[in-house]
Amino acid sequence: MSVTVLIGAQWGDEGKGKIIDVLAPEADVVARYQGGNNAGHTVIVEGKKVVLHLIPSGVHSQKTLNVIGNGVVMNPVGLCTEIDKLASQDIEIISRLEISSRCHLVFSYHQALDAAFEAARGADAVGTTKKGIGPTYADKVARCGLRGADLCHPARLEAKFRTNCGKANTVLASLGAPLLDVDAEWGATKTACTRLAPLVTDTVLTLNRAIKAGKNIMLEGAQGVWLDIDYGTYPYVTSSNTGVGGAVTGTGIAPQHIKTVIGVAKAYTTRVGGGPFPTELCCDMGEKIRKIGNEFGSTTGRPRRTGWFDAVATSYAVMLNGITELVVTKMDVLDGLDEVKICTAYELDGNRVDYMPADAEDLARVKPVYESMPGWKNPTKGARSFGELPLEARNYLNRVAELCGAPVKTVSVGPDRAETFRV
Ligand code: GDP
């Protein structure tokens, strides 16, 4: 038996979906534990591209049960759209999907509030995906949210929906945003709710019974460590705990069951939306990495900001989450460069620091201290083992491991599942 947690060790979009998909055949259960359909995981198998937002990444393995855990916020309409999209790609998921009775539900009024709040922030916008995730977590904490269990009680569900949608209209009016037609919104929602009700279970029991039965369980994080509501670059963060703590509270699996924590990091760094980003490259090199790496959001299509690998941020992420091994993705994107750089420390107000300042305003002021290494002229793309990588690429990965304090156990050199190998 083993429980493995897989998290993004940077600002999200590290290629977690692909890595989970590679590891999923070994897993009997893949569970999501936080976030909602603001996440976008791209999985490519045999040339077929599948973008997952809410459904865990165990989709291609017929024996894998996929669980939407209690820490997730689930949009019923969004989930039904995703199920249908997969069906159109000949992937049947309903018989292998369970939804937590405790997960909170995202509705159209949350999306309307998300957009209105973001507009009201003006220049201080957080850069949310406007999927209603923040307002749904706010309802959860305010103890007025709807949960998976409500899907199984249609009359109760409708009454709560109408009350909350009405309350949302009061807030929307105060922000000068367009009001919602409650009847129309409920009409557009109820079919999805009815359809998903049979999938609702107590997933805490499902997961803990699976542990008792000696099954392999993979807990799949969305976004990344530096978008965590507590530890990320607040307020430019997501509304949930993206790290290993979120995996515990978002599934109901006790910490002692977790044997492996895999941190996925790109060979460089990206970030979407606002917020401090010490190693950002606002120059031709940044543009080059964006182009070669196809760094555009899989949920929103927004261009991602790009920069060099930040070992200060990633080593902190290793410490914070007890990361036992690293996966480095997108090595191929750096193929052919004369030199590659790694940020090994920051300078903050003239002082050298080797940790991430907790205050986003301090982090915005730091200057990265770089170590330069020779790039690799021969491509990593095509390599199928560590030994097949160019020497400079091997040196780079060894240095990343040394600086971050965790071994690099898996390397990815292309988007396809086959372009991945263990070290
Ligand atoms: P996630 O949210 O962490 O799963 O990441 P995304 O799916 O948003 O972004 C990762 C993108 O990089 C996807 O388009 C993947 O197909 C692609 N990708 C993953 N690994 C590699 C790699 O090693 N090289 C290249 N070139 N692309 C990769």
177: domain CATH number is 1.10.300.10
Give the chain's mean pLDDT.
Answer: 95
213 and 189 within one domain: no
415 Cβ inside 6 Å of ligand 1: yes
- Ligand 1 centroid–CA 332 distance in Å is 11
How many CB atoms are located within 10 Å of the residue 143 CB?
A: 6
More confident position, 183 or 22: 183
pLDDT at 127 over 70: yes
Closest CA to 5 of 69, 83, 77, 52: 69
Going by alpha carbons, the residue nearest to atom 18 of ligand 1 is: 415
Residue 380 token pair: 């990593």
How many CB atoms are located within 10 Å of the residue 163 CB?
A: 13
41 part of the active site? yes
Residue 5 token pair: 């947690």
Cα(203)–Cα(100) distance, integer angstroms: 5
Give the mean pLDDT of 196-215: 98
Cα(88)–Cα(186) distance, integer angstroms: 26
Q: Which DSSP state fits 228?
A: -
399 and 293 within one domain: yes
More confident position, 50 or 397: 397
According to the model, what pLDDT value does residue 1 have? Answer: 62
Which one of 231, 246, 262 terminates a domain? Answer: 262
Domain boundaries, position 183? 104-196
10 and 124 within one domain: no
The model's pLDDT over 131-178, given as tens digits with 9 standing for 90+, comes to 999 999 999 999 999 999 999 999 999 999 999 999 999 999 999 999
pLDDT at 91 over 80: yes
Mutate to test the pocket of ligand 1, among 6, 300, 327, 330 (most ligand atoms within 8 A of CB): 330
pLDDT at 47 over 70: no
According to the model, what pLDDT value does residue 358 have? Answer: 96
Cβ-contact 297, 381 below 8 angstroms: no
The dihedral over CA atoms of 189, 193, 196, 197, expressed in degrees to the nearest 10, equals 180
376 and 300 within one domain: yes
Which one of 196, 214, 237 terminates a domain? Answer: 196
pLDDT-derived band at 260, boundaries 50, 70, 90: very high
33: domain CATH number is 3.40.440.10
- Flag the least confident range among 46-60, 153-167, 311-325, 329-343: 46-60
Cα(243)–Cα(220) distance, integer angstroms: 10
Residue 18 token pair: 């692909």
Domain count, the chain: 3
How many CB atoms are located within 10 Å of the residue 49 CB?
A: 11
Which one of 214, 247, 262 terminates a domain? Answer: 262
pLDDT at 317 over 90: yes
370 and 256 within one domain: no
pLDDT at 46 over 70: no
16 Cβ inside 6 Å of ligand 1: yes
The model's pLDDT over 374-412, given as tens digits with 9 standing for 90+, comes to 999 999 999 999 999 999 999 999 999 999 999 999 999
Q: For the chain, give the percent of residues with pLDDT over 70.
A: 98
211 and 300 within one domain: no
203 and 163 within one domain: no
Q: Which atom of ligand 1 is nearest to the CA of 223?
A: 2
15 Cβ inside 6 Å of ligand 1: yes
pLDDT at 206 over 90: yes
278: domain CATH number is 3.90.170.10
233 Cβ inside 6 Å of ligand 1: no
CA atoms within 13 A on the CB side of 232: 26
Give the mean pLDDT of 35-61: 82
185 Cβ inside 6 Å of ligand 1: no
308 and 405 within one domain: yes
Cα(159)–Cα(198) distance, integer angstroms: 20
